[in-house]
Structure 1
Amino acid sequence: MAICLSHSGVSSYASGTRSNEIYVGTTDGISLLKRGGDGQWQAVDQLLGGYHICSLSIEPTTGAMLAGTHNGGFAVSTDRGATWEFRNEGLASQNVFAVASSTVGDEIRVYAGIEPAHLYVSKDMGKTWVELDGLRKAPNIDDWTFPPPPHEAHVKHIIFDPADPECIYACVEQGELLRSTDGGATWEDMLSRAGVVDEAEGDAHRVVVRPSHPNELFMPTGFGLFFSDDKGKTWKNIKERTPWIGYPDPMVYDPNRENVMFVAGGRRNPGFWIAKQNASASVARTTDGGATWELAMNGLPETFTASIEAMCLDSYEGGCSVYLGTTDGDVFCSDDDGQSWSKIVSGLPPVSKGVHYMLVQGKMGGPPPQ
């Protein structure tokens, strides 16, 4: 089974055997990595060259590959990436941050989150899109923004309740965490109602929900890692459990051992990366469902200047493999639950959401530190 490594695509996989193919979303298309019989990885192909890939996934029923790009909109491939078709009819922007799919009955639904922050659904694999405009009725919408120009918030991440495909979580950066229980027709604002929108600055990076713990939500934000044990009614910032990571973003869990999770991010927010061209990135691991965390850095650079922009976990019988993609164009892997890491491929285009790679590489100014 092939898996994908991208900023806001599917990140946790479960299969009978370890995957030997990874599609990596980069600022210049998709790099296809393959593991040879000697266990060594190589980049063997580049797909969708010229497009900045933010979200990448494989729809499980049809096997179609779904890509959200920063400069071309939504693209789909039905032949394992050999050819692609852009399908943007109905989308107001071709800056697509997040793509996700779900199956309701026999119907496959594909969702696209864009910048400015609007959400769309397609029931014909992207041939036509309909806006879910209830998302725009959040009470704090006038406060939605984003530090770099054009200062427009975006829908950064989309997931579904594992037990109910009609229950959708949409993360707006920066603005709000929203949830719909009716397939996207209506939405509730989860941070404002819980009274933590100011503490989190509405900066919801993503939400992690594990099937056997449906009431527990983890939410990496620009202001720490938040946790809810009552399905979002109340939240607690548990940043003291991961003091090395002040700006958490990528987060995965092992579908076969759900208490095993990983989170990664920079020591401080991107406003601090610019001067020293250093994200001071770290990876942390928990084996008890988030009660305690420890650094998992053995084999990673001692001074990790790049930003870790993507992480995925491939779970299989007997263990799991965790993969990291960075703004330096490196991919790291751990086959032993994060006890050790190795660089499996280097020299790819940056793996990056938006302009993060430019901030770390000193190619542009940015927002002042907060």
Structure 2
Amino acid sequence: MATAYVALRDRLLVCRGSGPDTDDWIAESTLEGRALECVAASPDAPERVFVGTFEDGLHRSTDGGETFERLETDFVSQAVMSLAISPHDPDVVYAGTEPSRVYRSADGGDSWTHLEGLTDLPSESEWYFPPRPHTHHTRWLAVDPFDPDRLYVGIEAGAFVYSEDGGETWHERPDGSRRDNHSLATHPAREGRVYSAAGDGYAESDDGGESWRRPQAGLEHTYCWSVVPHPGDPDRVLVSSARGASAAHTAERAESYVYRRDDGGEWHRLDDRGIPMGNGVVRAVFDAPALGTDETADAEGVVYGVNNQELFVTTNFGDRWRPVGIDWDDALEAQAPRGLVVVEE
């Protein structure tokens, strides 16, 4: 069985099916009317799901998305913009907010500790989010799969930040890093590898984020949004991208694409592979459920992707995509998905 949690702007879709090769998927809607920003779940605790909202704080399910409770927190605001569950311990959860703060829970979300010092970094005065230039937020959080104390943080917009000691101290803007990091990824089969999809382009690191390179050849659309590596091959990467923010996020003006990079070569656009691209299509959000599992090294290229057209899946890392077949009405076509996580049992 597989469950895909799709965070949309005004609801969470809980999509269930037997697996990537089946057509028996069904979707149920929950948390309707809330402005969702992110979603997180772990294969090590599949019944527990976290959803961050812009105005209604953090919500948690302990029954696989059947019901949710709003958690009482002392976050700086109710705008929870990013979430990450540690691959080392599913009880360890991180949350990022607007304005930019990072919080840690060691008990599955029951209590939280503020990891101070992030906004003391020298570049903080230069951080801003263009639609709300008076503020900024923690857009993405990731925990290194080889070191539970190594954290990666994407500030929108302003900096890539990392910590080597669980958030006691922070390091910002290492050489080559992007400024407008939208999503980050790691790979459990390649120590030190970090991927970034950013508004100012793609980047990757091989030393845990301490230095970065920027392979752009073939990437014609460099406003990158989502990134996912092949579960069994860290040198193969998918990104979603557009020419700019409006083309990425606004359905009426959307024009987005999916690119793949194989074995360190140039990027190639995945035209005519079954996933919609081009006019009217917002940027996709990806998730590969095998990443972080014990089967990663032998995993096939199963990746899920969602845009404003539907939830899609590929079993060969983008060579061919197909919709899973859930109901997708006009109201959903007007939205840009905020997050996706798929848990297989």
Q: TM-score range by the shorter chain?
A: 0.7 to 0.9
Structure-1 residue corresponding to 2:245: 270
For residues 296 and 274 of structure 1, the distance between their equivalents in structure 2, rounded to whole angstroms, comes to 20
8 Å contact from structure 1 (residues 221, 248) kept in 2:
yes
Q: How does 1:168-317 map to 2 (within 5 A)?
A: 168-189=151-172, 191=173, 193-194=174-175, 196=176, 200=178, 202-243=179-220, 245-266=221-242, 268-271=243-246, 277-288=252-263, 290-297=264-271, 298-301=273-276, 303-315=278-290
Corresponding letter in the other structure for 1:213? R
Corresponding letter in the other structure for 2:195? F
**Superposed CA offset, 1:268-327 (max 9, x none):** 111456999333211111231x3332222322336342212411124476733322212x
8 Å contact from structure 2 (residues 94, 105) kept in 1:
yes
Corresponding letter in the other structure for 1:166? D
C-alpha deviation, 1:53, in angstroms:
2.6
**Superposed CA offset, 1:237-271 (max 9, x none):** 3223422x2111111122223333211111x1114
For residues 304 and 44 of structure 2, the distance between their equivalents in structure 1, rounded to whole angstroms, comes to 24
Corresponding letter in the other structure for 1:180? S
Q: 1:310 to 1:232 in 2, by over 3 A?
A: same
Q: 1:41 to 1:72 in 2, by over 3 A?
A: farther
SS at match of 1:133: coil
8 Å contact from structure 1 (residues 212, 258) kept in 2:
yes
For residues 342 and 304 of structure 1, the distance between their equivalents in structure 2, rounded to whole angstroms, comes to 19
**Superposed CA offset, 1:55-89 (max 9, x none):** 22223444311111223111111111121111132
* Residue 50 (str. 1) matches residue 42 (str. 2): no
Residue in structure 1 matching 2:64, options 75, 80, 84:
80
The aligned length equals 325
8 Å contact from structure 1 (residues 171, 206) kept in 2:
yes
Task: Give structure 2 stretches of 5+ with no counterpart.
Answer: 340-345
Residue in structure 1 matching 2:5, options 23, 29, 53:
23
Q: 1:329 to 1:154 in 2, by over 3 A?
A: farther
C-alpha deviation, 1:335, in angstroms:
2.6
Corresponding letter in the other structure for 1:324? G
SS at match of 1:140: helix
Corresponding letter in the other structure for 2:232? N
Structure-2 residue corresponding to 1:6: none
Task: Give structure 1 stretches of 5+ with no counterpart.
Answer: 2-18, 355-370
Q: How does 1:126-137 map to 2 (within 5 A)?
A: 126-137=109-120
8 Å contact from structure 1 (residues 282, 304) kept in 2:
no
Structure-2 residue corresponding to 1:122: 105
TM-score by length of 1: 0.79
* Residue 159 (str. 1) matches residue 142 (str. 2): yes
8 Å contact from structure 2 (residues 257, 278) kept in 1:
no
C-alpha deviation, 1:136, in angstroms:
1.4
C-alpha deviation, 1:172, in angstroms:
0.4
CA RMSD of aligned residues (A): 2.8
Q: How does 1:144-155 map to 2 (within 5 A)?
A: 144-149=127-132, 151-155=134-138
SS at match of 2:162: strand
